[in-house]
Amino acid sequence: MREHGKNNIRQIKCATAFIALLFAFFFTAAFAEEEDARGDVRFVVTGCWHLGESDPAEWAEAVAKINRFSPDLVIFLGSMVDLVGDGERRTGYSTRRAFEEGIKLSPEEVDERWALFDKITGSLDAPVYDVPSERTIPANNTGITERAFLERNKGRFYSVVFEGFLFIFLDSEFHNRTDLRQRGLIDHEQMDFLEEALVNSGEYENVFVFIHAAAWAPPFRRESMWWRRIHPLLRGKAGHVFGACLHFLDHKNVEGVNYYITGAAPHWPDPDPGKMSFPHFLVVDIAGKKVSVKVVPTGPVDLDEIIRPNKVSRETGFPGGDR
């Protein structure tokens, strides 16, 4: 009984915190629509819309809302197009099941899903940049899916300079392995690229880094590698790092580096308890060294869609199974 009472108290505290955060988010989002809140450069960050598993109409509505904020750039954090499945058997987001059962899309199905995404995304009034994910370039179907991704992007990892700001795009899935424990691995080739990209970081007003798997956070098994090898490179050079995959909102500042976890994930089952999880995007305004980040829900948010019981996969450590 005592333990049950403690659990009830935790749930009440969690719900109260969520309600307070929701009011803050909605107020901030409304404020973000005012033109006088705009910085010198504005970009939108979103990811994990999983077109192919989710309803395309939801992404179309999000695109329309993004355009209302008139961003200069739109940055995707991967898994915008979901290419895991075989067109008939949907895997319910289980990457592991697809690998184990040899479930994969045909070249025609890959092109069809990308064509639908391109048609909707073409309505954006800004250039777009993307990073790979294990769902967009699945390791059991790399050839055709990687080709489709590279036809639309500069590379699997690359950098862009825009208006005096440096944007670095990393690939958490570059290992191309069906072993999901390797997710978040930044290999030597990417390490060399990142070191070179950051050599002249002082020449830029601000440096931003984008990656699909938020490899600095548990339950990624490469979390310790990030703090041991990647974070020291970023410290004092890159002020803001954005990741996704975990499908909840989070932010922390570690030694001057701001780490953001985001990702829309329509209909994603069982996100982490105590974490906010609903379809959204981030609006980032830059004014020199000053950066503001606002959360914009794409529609009304039901508390039942945010606070859910935890179901952690024993195999992967991920809530709701694997990603």
* pLDDT per position as a tens digit, 171-230: 998 876 777 777 777 888 999 999 999 999 999 999 999 999 999 988 787 778 899 999
Pairwise CA distance, residues 216 & 213, whole Å: 9
**pLDDT higher than 70, residue 320:** no
Q: Taking residues 242-260, what's their average pLDDT?
A: 94
Q: What's the CA gap between 289 and 65, in Å, rounded? A: 27
Give strand pairing partners of 42: 285
Residues 293, 284 contacting (CB under 8 angstroms): yes
Neighbours of 222 (CB within 10 A): 21
> What pLDDT score was predicted for residue 304?
65
- Report H helices in 151-222: 188-198
Residue 236: partners with Cβ closer than 8 Å, 6 or more residues away? 256
The model's pTM is 0.83
Q: Output Rg (C-alpha) for the chain, integer angstroms.
A: 19
Angle at 298 between CA 293 and CA 302, to 5 degrees: 110
Q: Which two tokens stand for residue 19?
A: 């309600």
| pLDDT category of residue 318 using cuts at 50, 70 and 90 | very low
**Domains identified in the chain and CATH numbers:** 2-305 (3.60.21.10)
- How many Å apart are CA 164 and CA 54, to the nearest integer? 36
Residues 6 or more apart whose CB falls under 8 angstroms from that of 280 comprise 46, 249, 262, 264, 295, 296, 297, 298
Give residues with Cβ within 8 angstroms of 124, minimum separation 6.
63, 66, 67, 74
Condensed to tens digits (0 to 9), the pLDDT of residues 58-80 reads 999 999 999 999 999 999 999 99
pLDDT score of 248: 86
